[in-house]
Amino acid sequence: MADAGLSATMEPDVARTGSVTAADVLAAQARLRRYLDVTPLHHAERFGCWLKLENLQRTGSYKVRGALNALLAARERGDHRPVIAASAGNHAQGLAWAAYRLGVQAITVMPKCAPHTKVAGVAHWGATVRLHGDGYDQARAFAVELAAQNGYRLLSAFDDPDVIAGQGTVGLEIAAAMNPDVVLVPIGGGGLAAGVALALKSQGVRIVGAQVEGVDAMARALRCEPTGAEPAASLADGVRVKEPGRLTRALLAELLDDVVIVREAELRETLVRLALEEHVIAEGAGALALAAGRRVAGRRKCAVVSGGNLDAAVLSRL
């Protein structure tokens, strides 16, 4: 990373980094173009930033890219097992839609606190929904247990090469449309940021991650600080992860230029301004990159609006 405060303590895991490459992102793009449309860019003049509107993607977030690419790649390898995943909501919805589209059995484990909008979205596409635990990490532990008991394929929401490659197609679309100098990406487990960095770093684009104060496990991991603390409550429920991925951490240690930590009040203000000034409905994590963009210089900045599955109860409190 270019930021001195972070780079001094980073030691990329070369072996793990080598398991997913920019070529894998291009292969994912070739797989996905038959199923998914390119999402639009919107110039948010009041913010001085372009927005990549993944809130308009199938199932309302970028997560369907990684899930669909993983299922398609597995089919190419002859792996037709049922798939299970733990998710705060958007990965579960993406997997449910992808499984429906390809005729694969899908089981999703979601925290009991998952927004109703996201739970309903998963059920709509026919996936089995299991509610377990008070957060993503407890849901994941239960998913691991079920996978071992039943022979399911466990699909990580972020720490999987095929998932990372699929998310990276967001970066390819941005580059094709606007030639950015900076791209801002929200970070939870790191799959989106890692994929976008793989797609764009060779083109000289700066990649800046965004996290919320108290929900910053990846930033702490990159500084070699302890992780595993319970994340703070946040509007950005989609990025509340205790432990970032090993693969994503290795990739971001090598490719990420900086991480900006956003205060909860800044995130709330950005959510409201997005709706009122730009007529863009984003969930908390979806507004995170734009909130961070205020502190990042660039002539051609682009922030990824990663999702728009905002729970009605949250919307009423903004």
- The residues assigned a catalytic role are 63, 306
Residue ranges with strand state E in 48-148: 49-53, 83-86, 106-110, 128-131
Distance CA 216, CA 228 (A): 10
Beta bridge partners of 210: 186, 260
Return the H-helix or E-strand segment holding 43. Answer: strand 41-44
Task: Name 106's bridge partners.
Answer: 83
Question: Can you spell out the DSSP letters for 115-138?
Answer: -HHHHHHHHHTT-EEEE-SSSHHH
Strands 49-53 and 41-44: antiparallel
Residue position matching structure tokens 């239960």: 142
Q: Which residue has the tokens 């965004």?
A: 210
Q: Give all strands (DSSP E) within 132-287, no chain letters.
A: 153-154, 182-186, 206-212, 258-262
CA 212, chain centre distance (Å): 14
CB atoms within 10 A of CB 204: 7
247 close to 299: Cβ distance less than 8 angstroms? no
Distance CA 112, CA 268 (A): 23
In the chain, the amino acid numbered 100 is Y
CA distance 250 to 304: 22
